[in-house]
Structure 1
Amino acid sequence: MEIPLLRDLVIIFSLSVVVIYGCRQVKLPILVGLLVTGMLVGPRSFGLIHEVHLVEVMAEIGIILLLFSIGIEFSLKKLWQIRTLVLVGGTLQVGLTMLGTFAVTHYLLGWAATQAWFLGMLLSLSSTAIVLKLYQERGEMETMQGRLALGVLIFQDIAAVLMILVTPMLGGEVLETSSLDVFRLVLIGLGVPLFIWLGSQYVLPWMLHRVVSTRSPELFLLSIVSICFAVAWGFSQIGISLALGAFLAGLVISESEYSHEAFEHVLPFREIFTSIFFVSAGMLLDIGYLWEHLGLVLSVLLAVLVFKLFILLVVAILLGMPLRTAWIAGFGLCQVGEFAFVLNTTGSRYQLLSPDNEQLFLTVIVLTMMLTSFLIAGAPQLTQSLLHLPWPRRLRAGLYKGLRLQIRSSRYDLQDHLVIVGYGINGRNVARAAKRAQVPYVVLETNPDTVRSEQALGEPLVYGDATQKAVLNRVGIRQARTVVVVIAEATATRRIVSAIRELNPSVYLIARTRYVREVEELRRLGANEVVPEEFETALEIFDRVLTQYLVPRPEIDHLVEEMRSGNYGLLRQEVLPETTEVAQEPNLHPEIQVTTLLLNAACSWNGHSLQDIHLRAEHGVSLVALRRQGKMLLDLSSETILQADDELFLIGPPEKMRQVAQLLRIEVI
């Protein structure tokens, strides 16, 4: 029996492999390969796919899983932190785009008002699936441009619901507001927050705990997928998009202790189905139409990108963001998104666009989606070139007056201090360490909400873009002893390092980077130390592995230091040299294990001496040391009394160690 959909999937995936491989050979993004695959198999080109509707359904599943996984990685706390970006930023972006489109098409081109407003609604939407996926892959969701993108896209998905309701009015249909419509709006306004609160605090924690207690991975996976689809479908019934419903479902699960496990289970399905979505988007492109009207299409394409870029630049500046962040955010959101296809389907019923204009803008929409990966990847370089223009200093630094605060000299000593650039997880940890060691420090951060909340707690945060020398001077960069740059964006890190070294040639500069390929360039620009996350993580794991095999600590330290030397050159070699070894005869004894056990109050050893418990004779393990209230005790005797919360350092065979832990129900550290 032939299954047409299976045949279509074989064609899609097989051709995708070939096209993506070719794209990677010329260093093109995978996303472009998927869109090109869609162009080749679509009904408007070679027509290799017959079950187009079923492919589109699977593509919708891809969007659901993508937004669901993004919601899991997010949190309610983070959503609350970007509320200004959602409400103010989203309103400005959608409103200004619609007003600008209406003014140009109605007054300059002579379009009917209804057509002009409808086109404004289409152009106001950006691609949630593409933008968030690219920012997630680049690790930029926590940057200001990533947070602005998420905030604006959330608002767009909500606004799209209202746009679909308004579209029949533009087509001349009389809007009859029924009690059901009013109930739906009330349900959206009150029910969604209530659902998120109840689900995250009570329902899902209770449910997932019982699912996990069965120790069945299959049941856990089915439960997570059921929650995702059920919530997305439920919200779609009251007019909210499937994508936004899936995001809210992930947001609820993000508050659970099982969120990371849920993300790992969903990830493989997400990658498969989102690939189908990008292929389906490419299928919408009519290659014949593009070739026949190439000049017109490229002109409109450029006009749309420039227009949306300008609107987003204005929005970001009005939100107080530095000019550099505003440009990067604009390049990331200047495409037209997939929800415009849905809205256009509704508008086609009322012929709000002529057939020629409809085909023109469908072609432009697909092309803007194809260009998104290039625009986001090239945004830092493009922005750097644009910043060479003579922009006003106040515009470069941002208009957020309330957060551009000077550090009071009576409170902070701006001499011989530490400057921390970035207040993410790494920046916070460095600040905590500095505070504990009583080292004076100042933090530069571009998130105004973070600056405001942390300043209220007494933290020395200053709002500003560290790529700007005026901002660096404001935190006393010339008088600083040490600077630590811990931001996620590689291009910005390079510019910051270069600017700091130019302002203070003698400062000790430490930079963090995600990838080891950035190490040499950052050192060339002036960084004294560069810490690449990918190799430092490997070294930490390697250290702990050798410790388990009882390799002497001096040899471990020597080997780790040797691997760090030369910009981690040893780790970048595919084959390690023969001289790189721990010892001629490594001290590896798998029959011996060193384990740390925490003695709890309920343990039978609590309050007894070593002589009483007969540790070696009855259990086959030996106590070599213990830590009590942070103090290490090495001089142990048979009279030593064990107490609750003692950390016991035991040595013995692994099976004996497991028996001891199981017998006494002691927590292994």
Structure 2
Amino acid sequence: MENHQFLQSAVIFLLATVVAVPISKRFKLGAVLGYLVAGLAIGPSGFGLIRDTAGVAAISEFGVVLMLFVIGLELSPQRLWVMRRAVFGSGLAQVLLTMLVIGAVASMAFGLAARSAVIVGGALALSSTAFGLQILAERKEANSGYGRMGFAILLFQDLAAIPLIAAIPLLGGSMEHGTHPPELSRIAIVVGGIVLVVLGGRLLLRPVFRFVARAGSVEVSTATALLVVMGTALVMELIGVSVTLGAFLAGVLLADSEYRHELESNIEPFKGLLLGLFFISVGMSVDLSLLIHQPLLILGLVALLLATKSLVLWPLGLAAGRLSMADSWRLTALLACGGEFAFVVLNLAQSNHLLDSTQRNVLVLVITLSMALTPLLVISVAALLNVKARKPDREFETPDVASPRVIIAGFGRVGQIVSRLLRAHDIPFVALENSVEQVEFSRRFGGTSLFFGDPARPELLRAAQAQTAEVFVLGTDDPDVNLRTARLVRRQFPHLKIVARARNRQHAFRLMDLGIEEPVRETFYSSLKMARLTLQALGMPEDLAEARVDRFRKHDEQLLAKQYLVYDDDAALRETSLEALGDLQRLFEADTADDGMHREENV
């Protein structure tokens, strides 16, 4: 009988998902909203097909654990370093300001205790990463000014959710024991447990994954990834901390690992399925009777949430992001809603007695309605501003060429020059470019070896016969895409010699981490030529100017190799830069003295 009930429930879940999610995506409302509607339909507030909401929530919360692990994997230090100003500037300002305003309103207008108001303010300060990134991807606006700022704010919100989740058990525990703060011994246990997980992860995780990788079994690799996530989460639970914090820490520890992408691909099916189940369980717990019996209160709270976050986001876009008036409104429409992390925070707050069930149900309904309004707000603002979404790109093309010796990733200025030289020497190559406009433009001028597609996709590289090629030219200008592609090629096609373009010294160091010995800094050689021409324009003889520039080139290349050993230490970088400047000045002074002696001898 129990098996029959399980199968019946499983069929209902799958049927609701298959119907609701495609319809939601068809109208560009997002998969998350589809899951929420599916849960609403089959839950107690809908047709009442599933009654055991607590049992479903207990299973589905593991989807949140896996989501936190994947977020941790994506938060690699180099990614945060490249975006540090936007992430820790705009993101921090948005979360703190929104949290303070909403927390103050919750405390003064609705009478929440200070601890509860802080948690509610933090939960409602978060926006939907799933909605935001999906909308930016669908509209092809991820690289726009407001898209980059929106991504940075969402990235910080993901980071901010972790301490917020970790603080709830401590605040809840202190409320249970009156107004006294948490015991120092408990705090010490928590901090000690986190330190133990971090140190143990640093020392053990890579050797373990290296050992498992030698077995060559996908199933064992997947099991190991799940073991790491569940094991770290269990340790966190044993010391009285949220399991989601453990999963996040496990992800962060492996963010720079060579196994990162393999882990992500192994976890993704489980994460997607269980996360969908989590959103269905949230939809099942939505109490529609609140909207029916108190429509003015619920709709008023939705309007208040959107207005409060808009009052923070719009001026923040103008001031911190230096966006135009129009882009600030588009940023506001994108991020004014509540987010999926708020469901996690509110559920945890209720279980720790920071909120009662009615307060939690009201907030969940408000967040759900705000998320439902997000796609409509984005479309409406774009229509008012007369901005049209770009048409979605087509799937990648399958290169149909004889075995190429070279594969070029990126067909911008760098890729085009490399291809012209290869074509002049009759060297077969395949060029891959992710911009439809660039592909169509270049083909007008005879780019017959150019194909559309993302060079960071392994199936496209296999179709381009990377397994038989000799050299991989990495000419993409986005450092993140560049590094992601380099990691993929290193892992799946280790025989390829990679010639990589680097944006700057930090980017070059990251490429050197991947075993690329001589990354080519994109402005270095052109800057040397400009320096030589400047010296000549100031009256220096051509041969002398060329010799000085060549000496500087060799000196800077030696400095790059020296600084690579300490590039993650700012103090050491400054020290080596100052030493190098002094060395260079002494070398030029010696050269000047030698030139003077030669001139005297000639006289």
User: Could you tell me which amino acid in structure 2 is paired with residue 47 of structure 1?
Assistant: G
User: Could you tell me which amino acid in structure 1 is paired with residue 365 of structure 2?
Assistant: T
CA shift digits 1:233-271 (9 cap, x unpaired): 333445654444323323333322232222222222222
Structure 1 residues 379 and 248: alpha-carbon distance in aligned structure 2, compared to 1, 3 A threshold = farther
Shift in Å, 1:283? 1.3
User: Could you tell me which amino acid in structure 2 is paired with residue 2 of structure 1?
Assistant: E
Report the equivalent of 1:158.
163
Aligned residues: 428
Q: Secondary structure at the match of 2:48?
A: coil
> How high is the TM-score relative to the length of structure 2?
0.58
For residue 362 of structure 2, the aligned residue among 360, 363, 380 is 360
What fraction of aligned residue pairs are identical, expressed as a percent?
28
Q: Within 5 A, what are the aligned runs for 1:225-240?
A: 225-238=226-239
CA shift digits 1:88-139 (9 cap, x unpaired): 44543333223222444556x4746647555434423444566567768888
Structure 1 residues 183 and 148: alpha-carbon distance in aligned structure 2, compared to 1, 3 A threshold = same
User: Could you tell me which amino acid in structure 2 is paired with residue 249 of structure 1?
Assistant: A
Q: Within 5 A, what are the aligned runs for 1:333-344?
A: 333-341=335-343, 343-344=345-346
Q: Secondary structure at the match of 1:46?
A: coil
Report the equivalent of 2:297.
296
Report the equivalent of 1:567.
none
Report the equivalent of 2:78.
77
Structure 1 residues 380 and 274: alpha-carbon distance in aligned structure 2, compared to 1, 3 A threshold = farther
Report the equivalent of 2:2.
2
2:232 equivalent to 1:312: no
Report the equivalent of 1:50.
51
Report the equivalent of 1:120.
121
In structure 1, what is the Cα distance between the partners aligned to 2:276 and 2:347? 23
In structure 1, what is the Cα distance between the partners aligned to 2:9 and 2:283? 15
Structure 1 residues 36 and 9: alpha-carbon distance in aligned structure 2, compared to 1, 3 A threshold = same
User: Could you tell me which amino acid in structure 2 is paired with residue 362 of structure 1?
Assistant: V
Report the equivalent of 1:246.
247
Q: Single out whichever of 292-301 and 378-387 deviates more from structure 2.
A: 378-387
Report the equivalent of 1:286.
287
Report the equivalent of 2:551.
none
Gapped regions of structure 2 (runs ≥ 5):
389-407, 420-432, 470-494, 497-603
Structure 1 residues 117 and 59: alpha-carbon distance in aligned structure 2, compared to 1, 3 A threshold = same
2:446 equivalent to 1:533: no
In structure 2, what is the Cα distance between the partners aligned to 1:113 and 1:163? 14
Structure 1 residues 161 and 126: alpha-carbon distance in aligned structure 2, compared to 1, 3 A threshold = farther
Shift in Å, 1:297? 2.1
In structure 1, what is the Cα distance between the partners aligned to 2:255 and 2:355? 42
Report the equivalent of 1:260.
261
User: Could you tell me which amino acid in structure 2 is paired with residue 199 of structure 1?
Assistant: G
CA contact (8 A) 1:317 1:326 kept: yes
CA shift digits 1:54-99 (9 cap, x unpaired): 3112321212223323433442321344455555445433332232
In structure 2, what is the Cα distance between the partners aligned to 1:6 and 1:268? 21
Shift in Å, 1:540? 8.0
Q: Within 5 A, what are the aligned runs for 1:521-560?
A: 532-533=452-453, 544=465
Structure 1 residues 354 and 71: alpha-carbon distance in aligned structure 2, compared to 1, 3 A threshold = closer
In structure 2, what is the Cα distance between the partners aligned to 1:137 and 1:204? 36
Shift in Å, 1:303? 1.8
Shift in Å, 1:279? 1.0
Report the equivalent of 2:150.
145
Q: Secondary structure at the match of 1:50?
A: coil
For residue 179 of structure 2, the aligned residue among 174, 194, 218 is 174
Larger radius of gyration: 1
Gapped regions of structure 1 (runs ≥ 5):
388-424, 438-511, 549-596, 599-669
User: Could you tell me which amino acid in structure 2 is paired with residue 271 of structure 1?
Assistant: G
For residue 199 of structure 1, the aligned residue among 189, 201, 210 is 201
Shift in Å, 1:48? 1.3
In structure 2, what is the Cα distance between the partners aligned to 1:295 and 1:71? 40
CA shift digits 1:527-566 (9 cap, x unpaired): x999853699999876759x99xxxxxxxxxxxxxxxxxx
Structure 1 residues 252 and 175: alpha-carbon distance in aligned structure 2, compared to 1, 3 A threshold = same
In structure 2, what is the Cα distance between the partners aligned to 1:171 and 1:386? 52
In structure 1, what is the Cα distance between the partners aligned to 2:284 and 2:92? 32
Report the equivalent of 1:18.
19
Structure 1 residues 167 and 270: alpha-carbon distance in aligned structure 2, compared to 1, 3 A threshold = closer
In structure 2, what is the Cα distance between the partners aligned to 1:352 and 1:223? 36
RMSD, matched Cα: 4.8
Structure 1 residues 49 and 137: alpha-carbon distance in aligned structure 2, compared to 1, 3 A threshold = farther
User: Could you tell me which amino acid in structure 2 is paired with residue 147 of structure 1?
Assistant: A
User: Could you tell me which amino acid in structure 2 is paired with residue 248 of structure 1?
Assistant: L
CA contact (8 A) 1:41 1:49 kept: yes
Q: Greater helix share, 1 or 2?
A: 2
Q: Single out whichever of 244-253 and 140-149 deviates more from structure 2.
A: 140-149
Q: Within 5 A, what are the aligned runs for 1:181-580?
A: 181-184=186-189, 186-187=191-192, 191=194, 196=198, 199=201, 202-238=203-239, 241-317=242-318, 319-323=320-324, 326-341=328-343, 343-344=345-346, 358-372=360-374, 378=379, 381=382, 384=385, 430=412, 532-533=452-453, 544=465
In structure 1, what is the Cα distance between the partners aligned to 2:175 and 2:384? 39
CA contact (8 A) 2:94 2:153 kept: no
Structure 1 residues 160 and 68: alpha-carbon distance in aligned structure 2, compared to 1, 3 A threshold = closer
CA contact (8 A) 2:28 2:375 kept: no
CA shift digits 1:507-541 (9 cap, x unpaired): xxxxx765x5x899x99xxxx99985369999987
Shift in Å, 1:40? 0.8
Shift in Å, 1:380? 7.8
Shift in Å, 1:301? 0.9
In structure 2, what is the Cα distance between the partners aligned to 1:271 and 1:123? 24
> How high is the TM-score relative to the length of structure 1?
0.53
Report the equivalent of 1:453.
none
In structure 2, what is the Cα distance between the partners aligned to 1:253 and 1:267? 15
